[in-house]
Chain A
Amino acid sequence: MKRLLSIGLILALALTALPAITLGDGVTLNVWTNMTGVVNETFAEVCREFTAETGINIDYAAPANDYEALMKTKMATEDLPDVFSTHGWSVIRYSSFLRPLNDQLWFGDISEVIIPLITDDDGNIFVLPVDIDIAGIVYNRDILAEVGVDVDDIVTWTDFAAVCELVKEAGYIPVYLGGKDDWTIGQFFDWVAPSFFVTNEAENDRDALIDGTFDWNKWGALADMFADWNQRGFLNVDAATSDYATCTTELGLGNVAFEFFGNYAIVDANKAGPANLGMMPIPAYFEGDTPTLIAGERLAMGVWKDSKHPEEALQFINFLARPEIMSKLASANGALAGFESVESDTGAVAGDFEKYADVRTFPYFDRIYLPNGMWNDLCATGLGILNGSMSTEAIVDYMRESYLEKMDLL
């Protein structure tokens, strides 16, 4: 018996020496993305197609929620995947780890919408934008029709609040948030803040936000608007404790008029029910300003500058840049393709993309105008308003202090 146990133990120990299994021989690329669901499956399929065509193996990983934490550790230890997605941070966070891709043949094909968002001060781009994240507010067309509102009449936040009042009176929830997943609250501020501080050509704080001279008392107007909505019952009663899954379920069941999510929420909402959903631009804060859309990276892939297999990594990037592959991945995301010339299936919002093609786009607020690390402050202060623990003054002080600290100005 003892001998058997010893043999068992030795065998088990021997098993630990086994490295991860890879398919076939030759070069193996480590490829990581932050994609989930259908896009993740489609990407895995594309990886298999690449291996079948080139014989180059791919170890594809998509650690979902843990992607950012893992990438931070990998950056700290300088051990990045050969090819990885930059989830909106190709310039600010990852550019020093990535190989510039301006020399690739497809460089001139990149869409005009995305190119300023992925270009650094020296004119370098570090990623292949497979698709473009263009987002507004997701809304229920039927509810707006029922209360007799044309979505294009909603130009300012005052108009938006008036519609919320009508929606509430009609027995629907105007805006749904899922505070347990606090990013849903952070995203609200990320969506709305540009209209207060960035989009108005006549009066904006773009430079002040970047150079550290921003007057944070101005943030009070935004916090007040959110608190006012909460007080007037425009938000779901469980806004602080609900979650993203409930947000999309309620949207799909046709109980909610507006949600501040990208178009991926429509895909998730359709799982709960076939609600008639669309995308509208984000209203303006100032009279005279116009509604805008948010634009940014969605699936953007870069090559680690110290990759042991740079040629193969570039080969993979160029494979992703093929029109049919790019179209397949962009369609899985329900997003516009990264190249002007490539068509994609944008699903329920295809008409909206066409309708709002000329609407001005602005980048995600926190990615450009807030120092690294302030995303959590957007989430925390929003929750503070919802649970009544923070006054407007407290939020302004909190944001100012965090901003100055992270800008090294304290």
Chain B
Amino acid sequence: MKTAMKKNWWRYLLTVAILLLYLAPFYILIGVAFKMPSDPSSRWILPNYIYLDNFAKALEGRILQGMQGSLIITLCSVSLIICVGALAAYPLARNKSKLNKAVRGFILGVMMVPPLSILVPIYSVMKVINGISTYYGMVLLLLTFQLPLSIFIYSNFIASIPTALDEAACIDGCGPFRTFISIILPQLAPVTASVAILTGVTCWNDYQFSLYILQKPQIASVTLAVSDFFAQTSSNVFAAAAAALLGLLPIAVLFLLLQKHFIKGMVDSAIK
């Protein structure tokens, strides 16, 4: 054991370095969130006192409203992304026709389009369907831009499930839909956790669409609520840090709950 450690010391060093790199923003975030605005000390120094007024200021803002909005948007978007993604991926994975190949290529192509490059047409469509400042407008947009990822992951995973299962179901009298629901869907649990986490985090953290679509002050997302604390001449980075800390809690808890499935899904995808 000790020899292995000695031999691989650089790997441990690299791991620690990467870990520090990832933890540094959280370290600064926590430090700033508990620091008094008049404290001129470096952001790298944790305060030796607990100052909760930043959280009070964060709560006076729109952070709770933002968390509620993000929860509704994320829940609905992820549910639809999973349902529609899995349903769309099944025929694409099983029926390897030229048309399906083209469809898969098109879906992958959509993933390459930077959403902000088509902002004006998107905004115009949202205006026509009265989607501005509504949750359904946001859900539709996130669904549109996250669906390709979901279809890509699901179709790769389904392609790795032996077709013998489908054939057996067919012999037992199942149609394609029943086969999907009864045979394929139960196999998708680990990869669904991956899709839920990857798209859920994106939906929760979305800023670009929220900024343009959620324009009325009564409707907000977590990111918009945090950005309220930043202005050209009157920013409050301390309250913003407290709001960000509150805002990342739900998604962090979700990740911790689902991480077992997430890792299994990643490993299974890699093996199969």
Chain A residues in contact with chain B, CB under 8 A? 9, 12-13, 15-22, 36-37, 59-61, 63-66, 69-70, 73, 76-77, 79, 181, 183, 244-245, 249, 264-265, 268, 272
Contact = CB atoms under 8 A, between A and B. Distances in A.
Nearest to B74: A12
A79 B125 CA distance: 12
Between B38, B134, B136, B232, the greatest number of chain A beta carbons within 10 A of the residue's beta carbon is seen for: B232
Contact of B127 (A12, A61, A79): A79
Chain A interface mostly: helix
A64 B211 contact: no
A70 B120 CA distance: 11
A41 B237 CA distance: 19
Contacts of A21: 218-219
B76 interface: yes
Contacts of A12: 72, 75-76, 79
Contact of A9 (B79, B119, B235): B79
A370 B134 CA distance: 39
B218 A22 contact: yes
A270 to B, nearest CB: 12
Given A13-B76, A13-B79, 15 more contacts: A12-B76, A15-B135, A17-B134, A17-B135, A20-B134, A21-B218, A21-B219, A36-B234, A64-B228, A64-B230, A65-B227, A66-B211, A70-B212, A73-B119, A79-B123
Contacts of A65: 227, 230-232
Interface string B211-253: 1100111110000000110111111010000000000000000
Nearest to B138: A16
A17 B75 CA distance: 14
B237 A245 contact: yes
A36 B232 contact: yes
Contacts of B120: 73, 76-77
A280 B41 CA distance: 32
Contacts of B231: 36-37, 64-65
B139 A16 contact: yes
Interface in B75-101: 75-76, 79
B127 A18 contact: no
A64 B217 contact: no
A21 B69 CA distance: 13
Contact of B232 (A13, A15, A17, A183): A183
Contacts of A268: 233-234
Given A16-B135, A36-B234, A77 B218 contact: no
Contacts of A265: 233
Nearest to A76: B120
Contacts of A16: 72-73, 76, 134-136, 138-139
Nearest to B136: A16
